[in-house]
Amino acid sequence: MAHSPKITLVPGDITEQHVDAIVNAANSSLLGGGGVDGAIHRRGGPEILAECRALRAGHYGGGLPTGRAVATTAGRLPARWVVHTVGPVWSRDEDRSELLASCYRESLRIAAELGARTVAFPAVSAGVYGWPMEDAARIAVETVRSTQSAVEEVRFVLFDERAYRAFAEQVHSS
């Protein structure tokens, strides 16, 4: 039976996580970028990019739309799959929260389809895409808590102290 996944918080680097699937805060090109995306391709090796290129040549010719997710191999990373999702760029004028929530739901759906039981997420959109960390943490935690999934554990991997504090605040206060 599906439940909402148990949430754990870990400070550190997502590329070092021994989980079934790690989620990449990718961009729509799927062809790599900075931040966590750069780290995943660097540490995971060229196999990940090769699969991303194949996705672009096939079903995702126009790129992966914001809020959606797709899986590839994890290459040399200590995980089985990388689930690439495209977070929304933060906007002051437009509420894009539903798209950010969709990243978590879609990533969990894809991971569960693959048979993943443990899934690690970074703080999607909270880096270069500019989403305020407290709000990014709220959406992440609320969305996982309200999603029924065969995934048993969602591990938020927080790269710096500020991110860790924001997620801890959400997990413990609500």
Interface with ligand ADP: number of residues (CB under 6 A): 21
Binding mask 17-56 for ligand ADP (x = CB under 6 A): --------x---------xxx-x-----------------
Regarding 129 and contact with ligand ADP (CB under 6 A), the answer is: yes
- Closer to ligand ADP by CB, 10 or 150: give it: 10
Confirm or reject binding of residue 5 to ligand ADP (CB under 6 A).
no
Is 139 a binding residue for ligand ADP by CB under 6 A? The answer is no
Contacts 24+ apart (CB under 8 A), 27-30: 27/86, 28/63, 28/64, 28/65, 28/66, 28/86, 29/56, 29/63, 30/55, 30/56, 30/60, 30/63, 30/64, 30/70, 30/84
10 touches ligand ADP (CB under 6 A): no
Phi-psi region of 158 (alpha: psi -120 to 50; beta: other; left: phi over 0): beta
Q: Give the x/- contact pattern for ligand ADP in 146-165, rule: CB under 6 A.
A: -----------x-xx--x--
The upper half-sphere exposure of residue 40, i.e. CA atoms within 13 Å in the direction of its Cβ, equals 33
Tell me if residue 37 is catalytic. Answer: yes
Query: 59: which residues sit within 8 A by CB, 6+ positions away?
Result: none
| 63: contact with ligand ADP by CB under 6 A | no
Residues 85-114 that bind ligand ADP (CB under 6 A): 87
- Given the residues 13, 37, 95, 135, select the one marked as catalytic: 37
Contacts of 142 (CB under 8 A, 6+ apart): 101, 170, 174
List residues with catalytic annotation. Answer: 37
Which residues lie near ligand ADP (CB under 6 A)?
Answer: 13-15, 25, 35-37, 39, 87, 122-129, 157, 159-160, 163
